[in-house]
Structure 1
Amino acid sequence: MTDEQPGQRPRRRRVIRVVGVVLGCTLVVGAGGVGWAYWHFDRNIKGVDINSALGTDRPQRPSATPSASASASALPDVPSGTMNILVLGSDSRTGKENQALGGGESGGARSDTAMVVHINDDHSAATVVSIPRDTLVTRPSCPTSSGGSTSVAYNVMFNSAYSLGGPVCAVKTVEKMTGVRMDHYMEIDFAGFADLIDALGGVTVTTTQDIDDKQSHLHLEAGTHRLDGKQALAFARTRHAIGDGSDLGRIALQQQLVKAMLKEMTAGNLLSDPLKLYKVADAVTGSLTTDTGLDSLGELTDLAQGLRQIEPDALKTVMMPVLPAPSDHNRVVADEPKASELWASLR
């Protein structure tokens, strides 16, 4: 998304405007339906009180700078200052719906996609850092719903934190491994993700090799394809039939899928098609779990408003530097000191 010509600047602004509208889910047609739609979308969003669960055993938030204060005074009630958001894609493997979507045979839910989205101080740029789910980490002691706590675990897969302790343990594990305070948490359910793709009318992707993955149930010949929701979800889950079969190849497919979704949101008639916009908004909010600081439509709209300055060419995507784990080449470990230097730049 960095190859646009100078004359296309208005289109880049339209990209951010459309994404903000979809995230906020505030546009519906018909005065009589506005209140009901707002209530419906607001009730769709699920919240988790992560701050209360984790208490004070967390990295400190950076102090606000004068530029951030100036932005806040210009836009009351709009979040400002440096912000870090942990975004997870949760992959439920239970229930008939998820089985039909290629959920596999295992039970429970896993965080198959993990990204730290860092917003700079004046909200003019963002960095998205992907964390491979196969990364071996030290999982800290996490609070449980029964009032107890889990034991510290060493050299375990990163995504085990979510499987064991849900969003609270996922956030605590990320904060311990990075030293970066997560200001917010957002989780997208993969089954809802498939509904979103269908609401958009599908997405177009290109693969340079044949994909025949029995586990994700994806079968594509090399070339360009139009995917529906079920196929797109399989595309996001695929890793065994590409590259070396590791999570690193899957991350590349997921990044391509995100770009394809963005293209659909901005190149079509989303804003001029009330029914399609409603379906997209319903799919987004219906698949979303956030911390209690973002679990209302108003708070999500404020966040979208605060991020409206970020142009696509100011969005940088990177992956946490990793190396094959000495104990298991099917796993990876943080490549130090590069990983620590990356996280330090986000504090």
Structure 2
Amino acid sequence: MPHASGDDHLAPPAGAPTPADYGPGKVYRSRRRARLRSLRIAAWVALGVVSVGGGGLAYLWSQLDGNIQGTDINTALGHDRPGEQHDGSMDILLLGSDSRAGTHGQYGTGVSGARSDTAMVLHVDKSHQKASVVSVPRDTIVERPHCAKPQGGTAPAEHQAMFNESYQVGGPACTVKTVEKMSGVRMDHYLEVDFNGFTKLIDELGGVDITTSKAIKDDSSHLSLTAGRHTLKGEQALELVRTRHAVSDGSDLGRIQLQQAFIKALIHRFDSIGLASDPTKLYDLADTATRTVSADSDLASASKLLRLAKDLKGITPGHMNMVTLPVTYDPQDPGRVVPLDKASHRVWDALRDDRPIPRSAAKNSVGDRGDSPVTAGT
């Protein structure tokens, strides 16, 4: 894999496309990042359902259990994996697939199948009071391991593969395997959501509050926001997390910044509404969330999501450190990015050792330039 070497120098090669040319036609990547939000929603909703109590609780759980799609990742991957952590920390791969099923061409046509164009590794520390989130750009060039195909057979390993193709080749199990190979960190769970699910979840929540420091207009995502305070409903929220041309350098890296800001706004929203006092609203949200989220089989039940919710309960936006995997433009193809060897190793080492990610690790990364024009709340 063409990793950067030496001092992780960042200058793109002579004659390279401008950053705005990076990742052309990839407007759908951002949706996957919405999945992290879905994780919080699903987990917190499960906790809320239990708080409703009463004789109908077992019935509610059985209904929600039937909603959740599960994939047996452990069986698919076998024993050739990083070792499990036994210190109480937890790592969860959050995926966003670009499936357009049921969207009636609303988000573009001519795209078949699905890819995990949004991927975030959520590391919950052993105290379960703090978390780190590492966004992996969809266009990162990686060493993809051989993977079992969902329809049978095996996809051979590829020396220089684009990260988001792992899902297309071998589904969520292949994406988990790819992340574990590049990071050396075992994924305890994975969670996933798609376009339709994202918009429904945000609408069910009643929207999410954000503040923009400047006007944002992106003809590709159709987002048009003035500077100031906004409550984004489902479609507009999806437009925000798909936006890239109107922010930062116009690349997918800038879009990741928007998505990370939106995650914090979403957590603020969910924590601010009193669902425990509104059982009907709570159940509707739980039903939507569990119909939307796919997970590994070890997590695909309401009771297991409840336990996850308890694990995440103490983590506030202020205790969540979000970074983008340190990358630079690929010298062989400036439309792609490659991990910065030294810096990315520092990031993954921190997760394995259950330490905070050093701020200096992302210092020279092209994914760490400029501030997001969006902040949480109003």
Per the normalisation by structure 1, the TM-score is: 0.83
SS in 2 for 1:337: helix
Counterpart-to-counterpart distance in 1, 2:166 and 2:244: 21
Q: Cα offset for 1:116? A: 0.6
Q: Cα offset for 1:218? A: 2.3
Counterpart of 1:12 in structure 2 is none
Question: Which of the residues 75, 94, 99 maps onto 2:105?
Answer: 99
SS in 2 for 1:293: coil
> Does 2:348 align with 1:343?
yes
Question: Which of the residues 62, 66, 82 maps onto 2:89?
Answer: 82
Counterpart-to-counterpart distance in 1, 2:323 and 2:189: 20
Counterpart-to-counterpart distance in 1, 2:174 and 2:41: 33
- For residues 114-149 of structure 1, the C-alpha deviation after alignment (integer angstroms, 9 at most, x for no partner) is 111112233232211111112111211101124311
Counterpart of 2:188 in structure 1 is 183
Question: Which of the residues 45, 48, 53 maps onto 2:71?
Answer: 48
After superposition, where does 1:1-347 map in structure 2 within 5 Å?
21-27=44-50, 29=52, 31-62=54-85, 64-65=86-87, 81-95=88-102, 97=103, 99-100=105-106, 102-347=107-352
Counterpart of 1:3 in structure 2 is none
- For residues 211-241 of structure 1, the C-alpha deviation after alignment (integer angstroms, 9 at most, x for no partner) is 3333323233343322211111121112123
> Which sits farther off after the overlay, 17-26 or 337-346?
17-26
Preserved CA contact (<8 Å) 1:242 1:249: yes
State the AA in 1 paired with 2:105: Q
State the AA in 1 paired with 2:54: A
SS in 2 for 1:318: strand
- For residues 152-171 of structure 1, the C-alpha deviation after alignment (integer angstroms, 9 at most, x for no partner) is 22322211111221101100
Q: Cα offset for 1:98? A: 5.7
State the AA in 2 paired with 1:174: V
Provide closer, same or farther for how the CA distance between residues 158 and 123 of structure 1 changes in structure 2, counting only shifts above 3 A. Answer: same
CA RMSD of aligned residues (A): 2.3
Q: Any gaps of 5 or more consecutive residues in structure 2?
A: 1-39, 353-378
Counterpart-to-counterpart distance in 1, 2:318 and 2:209: 21
Provide closer, same or farther for how the CA distance between residues 234 and 311 of structure 1 changes in structure 2, counting only shifts above 3 A. Answer: closer
Preserved CA contact (<8 Å) 2:119 2:138: yes
> Which sits farther off after the overlay, 26-35 or 231-240?
26-35
Counterpart-to-counterpart distance in 1, 2:305 and 2:49: 10
Q: Cα offset for 1:330? A: 2.4
State the AA in 2 paired with 1:46: Q
Q: Cα offset for 1:99? A: 2.7
Counterpart-to-counterpart distance in 2, 1:99 and 1:202: 24
Provide closer, same or farther for how the CA distance between residues 47 and 19 of structure 1 changes in structure 2, counting only shifts above 3 A. Answer: closer
Q: Cα offset for 1:288? A: 0.9
Counterpart-to-counterpart distance in 1, 2:120 and 2:206: 26
Where in structure 1 do 4 or more consecutive aligned residues deviate above 6 Å? none
Counterpart-to-counterpart distance in 1, 2:238 and 2:127: 34
Q: Cα offset for 1:192? A: 0.8
SS in 2 for 1:52: helix
Q: Cα offset for 1:337? A: 0.5
Q: Cα offset for 1:26? A: 2.0
Counterpart-to-counterpart distance in 1, 2:274 and 2:46: 16
State the AA in 2 paired with 1:278: Y
Report percent identity of matched pairs: 49
